[in-house]
Structure 1
Amino acid sequence: MPRLSASTELPADVAASGYDRALLKPGILHIGLGAFHRAHQAVYTDAALAAEFGDWGIVGVSLRSVDIVRDLAAQDGVYSVVASSAAGDRAQVVGSVIRGLSGTEDQAEILALLADPTIRIVTITVTEKAYGIDPVSGGLDRNHPSVMADLADPTSPTGVIGYLVEGFSRRHAAGLPPFTVLCCDNLPTNGRIVRKLVIEMAGAGDPALANWIAAQGAFPSSMVDRIVPAATDVTRALAEKLIGAEDRLALSTEPFMQWVVEDHFLAGRPKWEAGGALFVDDVEPYEKMKLRLLNGSHSLVAYLGQLKDLTFVRDVMAVPEYRALVRRHMAEAVKTLDPVPGIDLDGYMDQLIERFENPTIAHKTQQIAMDGTQKLPQRIFAGAVEALANGGDASSAAYVVALWIAYVRKVAEINDPRATELKAAAAGMTADDPSAPFFAIAGLFPQALTENGAWRARVNAELEKL
């Protein structure tokens, strides 16, 4: 089977880029060239370019991996995305990514692009743990490996914040305007968080640079949503069948996708609304909705699945009792939300259940379960604090915390940046107050939860049942 490339003749039922890729020039640098970006922002950009062509090609950066960069080069930057549901499979070949670069091999070129005024937007999907956020202060974690390295040697960055700061530094020195930074990770008010981290790192070495970024920079927040499981041989085989070519970068996803963005860009942007993106003045209501209803429920499903040896989200949802637990959690979480403009929350929750049940999406509970210390604060803890403050009992949130603790106790090796602390807490569990070592982990739980004896007793009661 021939390898997919820009010259591949695709079947008539496969959607292809509706523009001339030979004319496409870079305007976006994306950091975090993983599956989610390629099935989400790159798809939106493909639609934007078809609707209104411009210099908005994407240069994708993988800070660590070189394999994806080489695979992209071998395929002229194109790859397939297969959206699957019970109704069938629909394939498209995406062409908005011009090329890939690796932080391990192409640092100089990445920095040169960050300094190049043709790059007007830097988008990011690197997951929560890559930012180096101190769980206590909310600022930079000075013990995070990439933060330490980039503070020590700012001109040779290794982490995402270090790259942004050095890119800003080069533009400032050259008298050029800054680029817009658009964070697309699951962090509440993600733009404001990244802005704070960038200004703090810049200020550590150059206060004038920090002041310039604070005055001139733009860090709009965004909310992103699409379920994109890790690709497997099954993914690649299905893509090959549909597109008639071998695609080592093929992705499987669901038909649904959503992108809500604060419309604050310094030098224009692609017409992402052509792909369905929603531009708003304040993204926070949408972020809270997604974090607490989708992501929070996903965490419940993940830890329950791991405890019950259920591999995929769809397997958990196939058990009526577990499906009811997800419904209960959503019913509790939705009470902590303000109205979301243009969204029927009851309909949104029904849609989430349908998406979780999608029989064609092989989303592993193990994948969702990783990095609990980075995910649960915004997905579960924040909502629990608000629920308790408003007279609720946050019982489902207590259940999710109990599931997570039981998961940490059960699984021999957990994937979490605070794994050592978590395993020490699990080893220190006692019969009378089993959750106490977890509540003692610095900066993990909000003070309102650590000091709420009744709610902690509820967590312990749920642990006893488990």
Structure 2
Amino acid sequence: MTRLSAATLDRVPSRVRRPGYDRTRVRAGVVHLGLGAFHRAHQALVFDDALAAGDHGWGVVGVSMRSAAMRDRLVPQDKLYTVIVENHSEREARVVGALLDILVAPEEPARVIEAIADPGVHLVTLTITEKGYHASRSESAAGLIAAGLFLRRQRNLPGLTVMSCDNLPNNGERLRAAVSKSVGTANSGLADWIAMSVTFPSTMVDRIVPATTGADIARWQVEGGFEDQALVRTEPFSQWVVEDRFAGPMPDLGALGVTLTADVRPWEQAKLRLLNGAHSAMAYLGGLAGLTTVDDFVRAPFGEPFLRSLWDESAPTVTRAPRLDLTHYCNRLLERFGNPALEHRLAQIAIDGSQKIPQRIVAPLLERLATGAEATALGLALAAWMRWQQGVNDLGRAFTVDDPLAELISPVAGDAAALLGLEQIFPPEARTNPALVKLVSYHLRQLETLGARGAIEAMLTHS
């Protein structure tokens, strides 16, 4: 079987879109930390489109933050890979050529730092997941960025735009704080230079990108006629909202479909509380009920009614914006969730829940309780996360809880008050809130007695 590479690109079927530019003319302008499927199906396509439009300064140096696995898949393909867009039975494919080089941070941190300090680089982007912002070691993302900025200042180079693309509220400020912590108080000159020369705009990114499986790769070998060990699958919908605050040259993001705004917060809240909140609720409730994928949950008799109830509670907590229609947004989410072609696995979404639920579920839940408003669906979603920590679903099947705080959580799994008391996860207003303890304890008992299906049905009956 022919494998995708620069030498075999001309053999790719004509129905597959290929890079519309000469890759030998492309220069690196972006360093991206966190070379997972999401970046390759989202931001990398924007840079690929910039290159196709003739702006050849926006090639990407990708950095794997953990292992060499992605490098080992992509290098034999000359860093080319396929993005397959699936919508029910429809499938479109394109080969992306924006990746110019791939570095593995644990193996070659000095090369990563040099890449950030390259005079042609104007933008550093990150998709390192929520837990990546808690690390402040020199080899962490923040540590590498701080070291790269140190070199830039030392060499009298201009600053950078450093852009988090992770699902975190106020992610630009969080990233700035993490980099500042890595710089430390001893290097006040660098801290002052960063304050004057580097910007950390907040962003919101939205595209559903399921994990690629061996079956996906094998299927594409048959359908596409070539082997691609680094392909990604995704949905038609894609959104990128960016705070309009840059330190230097940038591609024409507006012309490339990116929304530029003075305030990302409304979009950020809508994504976190409506899309991501629903994802987490479905992951834990659906996973407990023995369901496998997001579309399984949507097709269940209780699926849409539960999601509508959840959104009825969360939507009023989202900051309004002139161009953000939340009713339309939720209707569109339901369509996206129901796309069976994605086979978006609930177990994938359930990973690292302790890092996700504070902003997705807990924040809107606390706002509802503070105003005396109904929070039944949100309470059930949080209780489902707690029930999930016990590692057994309603069918009696055991599973491993994949979470960086699993050892901390496991001893108190099943005890709502004790879980809410964990300061590593919950804010003070959650840990000292008797109404929250009462609400979640009730739903936890419902889940233990009735199972997830029964608890959802009971909630819907009484709402």
The answer, yes or no, to whether TM exceeds 0.5 is yes
Residue 27 of structure 1 aligns to a residue in which SS?
A: strand
Tell me the equivalent position of 2:353. 372
Residue 91 of structure 1 aligns to a residue in which SS?
A: strand
* Aligned 8 A contact 1:45 1:272 in 2: no
Q: Please point out which of 307, 320, 328 is paired with 1:326.
A: 307
Question: How far off its partner does 1:340 sit?
Answer: 2.7
Question: How far off its partner does 1:108 sit?
Answer: 2.1
Residues 7-16 or 326-335, more deviating:
7-16
Counterpart Cα distance in 1 of 2:417 and 2:125: 39
Q: Please point out which of 33, 36, 55 is paired with 1:34.
A: 36
Structure 1's unaligned 5+ residue stretches are 133-143, 151-156
Identity score, percent: 41
1:369-426 alpha-carbon deviations (Å, 9 max, x no partner):
1111110111111111222223313222211111001100134531111111110111
Q: What one-letter code is carried by the residue in structure 2 that aligns with 1:95?
A: G
Q: Please point out which of 60, 63, 66 is paired with 2:62.
A: 60
Counterpart Cα distance in 1 of 2:380 and 2:328: 25
1:134-192 alpha-carbon deviations (Å, 9 max, x no partner):
xxxxxxxxxx5xx3xx3xxxxxx321011011111111222222221010000101001
Give the aligned length.
439
Tell me the equivalent position of 1:317. 298
Residue 409 of structure 1 aligns to a residue in which SS?
A: coil
Residue 212 of structure 2 aligns to a residue in which SS?
A: coil
Counterpart Cα distance in 2 of 1:47 and 1:242: 25
Tell me the equivalent position of 2:396. none
Tell me the equivalent position of 1:422. 409
* Aligned 8 A contact 1:406 1:463 in 2: yes
Within 5 Å, which residues of 2 pair with 1:394-409?
A: 394-409=375-390
Within 5 Å, which residues of 2 pair with 1:41-440?
A: 41-132=43-134, 144=135, 147=136, 150=137, 157-411=138-392, 413-426=400-413, 429=414, 434-440=415-421
Residue 204 of structure 2 aligns to a residue in which SS?
A: strand
Counterpart Cα distance in 2 of 1:255 and 1:323: 21
Residues 205-214 or 161-170, more deviating:
205-214
The answer to whether residue 3 in structure 2 is matched with residue 3 in structure 1 is: yes
Q: What one-letter code is carried by the residue in structure 2 that aligns with 1:243?
A: G
1:212-231 alpha-carbon deviations (Å, 9 max, x no partner):
21232100111001111110
Residues 339-348 or 294-303, more deviating:
339-348
Counterpart Cα distance in 1 of 2:376 and 2:35: 38
TM-score for the superposition, normalised by structure 1:
0.91
Question: How far off its partner does 1:239 sit?
Answer: 2.7
Counterpart Cα distance in 2 of 1:228 and 1:5: 23
Question: How far off its partner does 1:23 sit?
Answer: 0.6
Tell me the equivalent position of 2:454. none
Counterpart Cα distance in 2 of 1:51 and 1:389: 50
Q: 1:3 to 1:28 in 2, by over 3 A?
A: same
Counterpart Cα distance in 1 of 2:23 and 2:118: 21
* Aligned 8 A contact 1:91 1:239 in 2: no
Q: What one-letter code is carried by the residue in structure 1 that aligns with 2:408?
A: E
Tell me the equivalent position of 1:136. none
Computed over aligned residues only, the root mean square deviation of the Cα atoms, in angstroms, reads 1.5
Residues 111-120 or 180-189, more deviating:
111-120
Question: How far off its partner does 1:266 sit?
Answer: 1.5
Q: What one-letter code is carried by the residue in structure 2 that aligns with 1:3?
A: R
Question: How far off its partner does 1:204 sit?
Answer: 3.9
Residue 348 of structure 1 aligns to a residue in which SS?
A: helix
Structure 2's unaligned 5+ residue stretches are 393-398, 448-463
Q: What one-letter code is carried by the residue in structure 2 that aligns with 1:12?
A: S
Q: What one-letter code is carried by the residue in structure 2 that aligns with 1:422?
A: I
* Aligned 8 A contact 1:328 1:396 in 2: yes
* Aligned 8 A contact 1:191 1:220 in 2: yes
Counterpart Cα distance in 2 of 1:337 and 1:71: 41
Q: 1:225 to 1:337 in 2, by over 3 A?
A: same
Question: How far off its partner does 1:322 sit?
Answer: 2.6
Counterpart Cα distance in 1 of 2:253 and 2:99: 15
Residue 99 of structure 1 aligns to a residue in which SS?
A: strand
Tell me the equivalent position of 1:154. none
Residues 306-315 or 385-394, more deviating:
385-394
Residue 91 of structure 2 aligns to a residue in which SS?
A: strand
Question: How far off its partner does 1:125 sit?
Answer: 0.4
Question: How far off its partner does 1:448 sit?
Answer: 2.4
Within 5 Å, which residues of 2 pair with 1:447-458?
A: 447-458=428-439
Q: What one-letter code is carried by the residue in structure 2 that aligns with 1:416?
A: D
Q: What one-letter code is carried by the residue in structure 2 that aligns with 1:299?
A: S
Question: How far off its partner does 1:247 sit?
Answer: 0.2
Q: What one-letter code is carried by the residue in structure 2 that aligns with 1:419?
A: A
Q: What one-letter code is carried by the residue in structure 2 that aligns with 1:336?
A: T
Counterpart Cα distance in 1 of 2:436 and 2:115: 50
Question: How far off its partner does 1:87 sit?
Answer: 4.4
Q: 1:391 to 1:52 in 2, by over 3 A?
A: farther
Q: What one-letter code is carried by the residue in structure 2 that aligns with 1:170?
A: L
Counterpart Cα distance in 1 of 2:407 and 2:42: 33
* Aligned 8 A contact 2:82 2:94 in 1: yes
TM-score for the superposition, normalised by structure 2:
0.92
Question: How far off its partner does 1:242 sit?
Answer: 4.1
Q: 1:67 to 1:445 in 2, by over 3 A?
A: closer
Question: How far off its partner does 1:442 sit?
Answer: 1.6
